[in-house]
Amino acid sequence: FVPVDALCLAAATMAFCALAKRLTGRPGGATLGAMVWVVTVAVPPLTMRMWVEPWTTTPTAALTLLCLWLLVRLIDRPSARDAALLGLAASAVLLFRPADAAILLAGAGAVAGAVTIVRRDWRSALAGLAGAGAGFAMFAVLYVTLYGLKQSPYLAASAEVGFEWRLLWLRWVTLVIDPAPLVPNEIG
């Protein structure tokens, strides 16, 4: 798993730096982003451990940061290519964390949809839907191949936990800071 996790770490780092450059609008924005990333991710041993141990968070983090960067690009300058990549990246999260994909797809879809409607960029809207459709198809093929039409153990465990929108802040604390009260023996 180390090569895959290292690839995810590299992709997340590049997406974070690109996002920092885009949001600061300055030439040194990527360097500032890299410094923040190193201090918060690479220096703390506990945080780096999470990028080495196999877990579904590593690809999800990389794809989520990629989605944020693509959304900012789409807001600044809509393009069918960015919209298609956004749809594909957001729906690819289904492969790793279906519940997170639902939230990411809803949020990214709402922002991208608003941008395309306001700018009347129907080509980008169709490209985004096609990208998301490709990700859904990839997920469906893999899911049916692995589990057939039955519920996977991961989805069954997620259903037992349940979803309550008023507790989204607690989900964030559980995933980012400390999962101890809800998920013993894990680290945030």
Q: What is the pTM of this model?
A: 0.80
The owner of tokens 């985004």 is: 128
pLDDT in tens, 28-71: 999 999 999 888 887 877 777 777 766 777 888 899 999 999 99
- Arithmetic mean of pLDDT, 151-170: 75
As a dihedral over the C-alpha atoms of residue 172, residue 102, residue 104, residue 96, rounded to 10 degrees, the angle is: 80
Choose the weakest-confidence range: 26-35, 63-72, 118-127, 151-160. Answer: 151-160
